[in-house]
């Protein structure tokens, strides 16, 4: 089955909005063993949309389009579909009924302009929108299934799962299924990971291995397709075990987890507690910790001590030490960690201090210099790093490195 995606909207061509819809649709189809062969992006131009649909329909079995179904003058997708398929635009009573019910639930009066969303090509089949005003629709053009969804990502995602995926699978008409297992890796480059795993798929027929960089981590995606669910699961588990064996402690999260949820799970399992003292990350680490529900059970305190005075006043870092070594040093990182642990009474305390840039560096301590320290009852250790990139990248990789410190320490308990 050949599938194509069509993204519609001037905002996409102008770079004002990132097209997350196509990525989500392609990934979801890939989960079912359906590869996306082509993707096009066009603006809010009726002629361009119609031409793109005619072109894609000639070489594909399914085309999924997003965008241009709203109530404003630049929402011209339905008109373009009517033009491409040679159909009239008619008032779709089912869509109008949905629209009226939607505004009744909101307790608001429907604006007349919303009625434009109910003008659809004749004989189009409606795709309900449980969370918005614009219904989708589907129809055939020269044997190709054309599917149209609103461009609002949250609305599109629900419709994709509830209606579109079953519709596409029904058209495929076989019992094959695809299963994917994702492992998240940190601390190795994509090239090094690929070298270590070069023979994994060759040694296991039916298993494919793909890599996706999501800075500063790399996702290793294992995928199998077949009809026997037990055999697929066994092959995935075998492949995942081999990946873990080859990559060791660099695998920071298993399937369905992230490094953050892994750390949260380990804190719950060990019963340990945590305090944080952050400088250059400005609360990013605390944000990752508290984004996980239930973190109040183990996260006791987070202090963003950006200024030297705050480091001294809140964490007890000696002013003399700050003057002697500077705020960005292993010694100050250790003092921050010890101070946070004493203040919170926690089992563990992690501290970070560094120079995120773009200014503030020196020949001895260039931009990207970071020190991380971790204190527990037995003592305190620290390590220095030199990260590269802009301010956001330096802060991000510092936060993820800190999370990996916590993960490794908790695993050693």
Q: What Å distances lie between residue 5 and 29, 137, 149, 172, 341, CA to CA?
A: 11, 15, 11, 17, 52
Q: What are phi and psi of 67, to 5 degrees?
A: 105, 155
Q: What is the pLDDT of residue 278?
A: 99
Q: Which two tokens stand for residue 200?
A: 């994994």
Give residue 172's pLDDT: 84
**pLDDT tens for residues 35-87?**
899 999 999 999 999 999 999 999 999 999 999 999 999 999 999 999 999 99
pLDDT at 41: 98
Cα separations in angstroms, 299 against 188, 268, 276: 29, 11, 9
Residues 6+ apart with CB under 8 A from 92: 118, 119, 120, 124, 126, 135, 137
The helix/strand/coil state of 126 is: strand
If one counts every other C-beta atom within 10 angstroms of the C-beta of residue 201, the result is 16
pLDDT at 93: 95
Give the tens place of pLDDT for each residue, 157-195. 999 999 999 999 998 876 777 889 999 999 999 999 999
- What is the CB neighbour count within 10 angstroms for residue 296? 8
Q: Which domains does the chain have, with CATH numbers?
A: 3-172 (3.40.980.10), 177-253 (3.30.70.2860), 270-411 (3.90.950.20)
Q: Are 178 and 33 in contact, with CB atoms under 8 Å apart? A: yes
- Residue 364: exposure state from Cβ atoms within 10 A (0-12, 13-18, ≥19): exposed
Strand pairing partners for 34? none
pLDDT category, 413, cuts 50, 70, 90? confident
Q: What is the average pLDDT score of the chain? A: 96
Read off the pLDDT of residues 362-394 as tens digits, 9 standing for 90 and up: 999 999 999 999 999 999 999 999 999 999 999
* pLDDT tens digits, 338-361: 999 999 999 999 999 999 999 999
pTM of the model: 0.82
Bond preceding residue 358 cis, omega within 30 of 0: yes
């Amino acid at each position: 089955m050949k599938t194509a995606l069509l993204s519609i909207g001037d905002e996409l061509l102008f770079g004002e909005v990132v097209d997350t819809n196509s990525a989500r649709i392609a990934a979801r189809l890939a989960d079912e063993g359906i590869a996306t062969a082509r993707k096009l992006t066009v603006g809010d131009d009726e002629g361009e949309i119609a031409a793109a649909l005619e072109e894609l329909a000639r070489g594909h079995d399914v085309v999924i389009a997003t965008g241009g179904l709203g109530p404003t003058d630049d929402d011209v997708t339905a008109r373009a579909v009517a033009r491409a398929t040679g159909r009239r635009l008619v008032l779709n009573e089912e869509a109008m009924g949905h629209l009226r019910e939607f505004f009744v639930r909101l307790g608001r009066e429907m604006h007349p302009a919303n009625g434009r969303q109910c003008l659809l090509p004749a004989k189009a089949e409606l795709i309900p929108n449980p969370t918005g005003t614009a219904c989708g629709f589907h129809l055939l053009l020269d044997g190709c299934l054309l599917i149209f969804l609103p461009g609002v990502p949250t609305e599109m995602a629900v419709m994709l799962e509830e209606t579109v995926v079953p519709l596409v699978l029904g058209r495929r008409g076989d019992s094959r299924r695809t299963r994917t297992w994702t492992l998240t890796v940190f601390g190795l480059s994509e090239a090094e990971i690929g070298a270590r795993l070069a023979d994994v798929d060759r040694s296991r027929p039916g298993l494919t291995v793909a890599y996706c960089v999501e800075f500063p981590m790399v996702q290793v995606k294992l995928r199998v397709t077949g009809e026997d669910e037990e055999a697929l699961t066994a092959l995935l588990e075998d492949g995942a075990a081999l990946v873990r064996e080859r990559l060791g402690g660099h695998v920071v999260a298993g399937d369905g987890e992230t490094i953050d949820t892994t750390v949260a799970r380990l804190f719950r399992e060990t019963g340990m507690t945590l305090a944080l003292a952050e400088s250059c990350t400005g609360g990013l680490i605390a944000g990752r910790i508290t984004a996980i529900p239930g973190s109040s059970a183990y996260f006791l305190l987070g202090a963003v001590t950006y200024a030297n005075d705050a480091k001294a006043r809140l964490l007890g870092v000696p002013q003399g030490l700050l003057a002697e070594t500077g705020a960005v040093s292993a010694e100050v990182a250790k003092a921050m960690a010890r101070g946070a642990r004493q203040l919170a009474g926690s089992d563990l305390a992690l501290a970070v201090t560094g120079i995120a840039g773009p200014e503030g560096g020196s020949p001895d301590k260039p931009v990207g210099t970071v020190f991380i320290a971790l204190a527990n009852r037995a003592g305190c250790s620290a390590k220095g790093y030199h990260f590269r990139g802009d301010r956001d990248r330096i802060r991000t990789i510092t936060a993820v490195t800190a999370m990996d410190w916590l993960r490794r320490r908790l695993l050693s308990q």
